[in-house]
Amino acid sequence: MSHMRINPISKEAVIMSENRLKRPTDFSSDKTENDKISFKKDCPFCIEDQNSSRIKIYEDQISYGVKVVENKYPIVLKKEEAESNVYGFHYVVIEGRDHSKSFYELSREHIGEIIKAYICVSKNIYRNEFIKYVQVFKNHGKNAGASLRHSHSQIIGMNVMPEKIKTEVENSSKYYKDNKTCAFCDLLKDEIKSKERIVYEGKEFIAICPYVSKHRYEIQIIKKKHSSTIFTLNEFEINDLSDVLKIVTNKLHSVLGKDISYNIYYNFLKEEKVKYYHFYIEICPRIVNGAGFEISTGIMVNTILPEIAAKKLREANN
């Protein structure tokens, strides 16, 4: 059973989901990130790859082993199953067959197939008129919330749009109304001119450590030309995004170590609803947890300047 509670004063929302406590885990003190076994008999995702009877929401056609299935421990239940104010869809994206291969070790082409799975499944979710928001997220490592080592990500579609995203969309529209230009496009012009916070620049996408970085070594991957949603990307742009994601995650592991935990998340928004929004991807390394001040005020304290973080990442070998 899942339901959403909203603080009437701060408007902060929390989803109560007891289902998530039931998730299996294979993280323990006697196992390391470097276990190099391609198949693990008690891994549900390895087993899933051999399960031909279970319905797949999506399956890649190039035999990388990219599959999308329903999450057995969903944050939100389907509309017909829910008895609460929040409902939708929750899927798991099994990113490949090899149990030990991490996301950053995959080929550019393989990562491209994962992105195509995100796009295809999210489009299908939005065919349900009650869906207001879709997010794709990846938890890499135990400190980032991953319960299983097998490389995977998740897709959630909900009947509500989070206040944080709603505020970003509203502020983007207001900025355009006041300045007749996109806030992110203006930000990118400044970043490209100064160069000091650039981590890596591809043909279509650029990775930066944002000026207001909430986390150490936080990275944003932004499309250089204005695009409000990922749904409009063509094959060339998907390939470039895959390349940037692979290079940037390799740089993170090079600077912060093979066992670093991080979250990657994408906001998949409907283009016609967010014309002045600018699509981006966020990567947040989980180096330290917030302490009392951060938790109580919502104001993050970052002890590594983004200019220094970007320089270290920029100079790192892949």
Q: Each residue of 48-76: pLDDT tens digit?
A: 766 765 678 999 888 899 999 999 889 99
150 is in an annotated binding site: yes
Same fold for the pair 2-158 and 179-315: yes
In this structure, of 24-28, 88-92, 183-187, 284-288, the range with the lowest mean pLDDT score is 24-28
Can you give the residue ranges of every domain in the chain? 2-158, 179-315
In this structure, of 12-26, 183-197, 304-318, the range with the lowest mean pLDDT score is 12-26
Whole-angstrom Cα distance, residue 138 to residue 265? 6
Whole-angstrom Cα distance, residue 27 to residue 286? 16
In this structure, of 29-38, 94-103, 298-307, the range with the lowest mean pLDDT score is 29-38
Q: pLDDT class for 208, splitting at 50, 70, 90?
A: very high
Q: pLDDT class for 23, splitting at 50, 70, 90?
A: low
pLDDT, position 95: 94
Query: What whole-number percentage of the chain has pLDDT above 70?
Result: 86
Helix 235-256 crosses helix 306-315 at what angle (to 10 degrees)? 100
99 is in an annotated binding site: yes
Widest distance between CA atoms in the chain: 58
pLDDT at residue 139 above 90? Answer: yes
46 is in an annotated binding site: yes
CATH topology for 179-315 is HIT family, subunit A (3.30.428)
Whole-angstrom Cα distance, residue 95 to residue 106? 9
pLDDT at residue 35 above 70? Answer: no
pLDDT at residue 88 above 90? Answer: yes
Q: pLDDT class for 9, splitting at 50, 70, 90?
A: very low
pLDDT, position 145: 86
Helix (H, G, I), strand (E, B) or coil at 70: strand
Whole-angstrom Cα distance, residue 263 to residue 215? 11
How many other CB atoms are there within 10 angstroms of residue 211's CB atom? 14
- The per-residue pLDDT for range 141-161, each reduced to its tens digit, is 989 988 888 999 999 999 999
Tell me, yes or no, if 215 is annotated catalytic. no
Q: Quick one: tokens of 273?
A: 């609803």
Q: Quick one: tokens of 172?
A: 């983007």
Whole-angstrom Cα distance, residue 284 to residue 217? 7
pLDDT, position 317: 79
Helix (H, G, I), strand (E, B) or coil at 55: coil
Question: The tokens 């008690």 sit on which residue?
Answer: 42
Listed in sequence order, the DSSP H helices in the chain are: 44-49, 108-125, 163-179, 183-194, 235-256, 292-297, 306-315
43 is in an annotated binding site: yes
Whole-angstrom Cα distance, residue 9 to residue 30? 45
pLDDT, position 24: 61
CATH 3.40.50.300 fits 2-158, yes or no: no
Active-site pick, 90, 152, 253, 278 = 152
Which residues of the chain form beta strands (DSSP E)? 2-6, 13-17, 58-59, 67-70, 88-94, 133-140, 152-158, 198-201, 205-208, 219-223, 262-268, 280-285
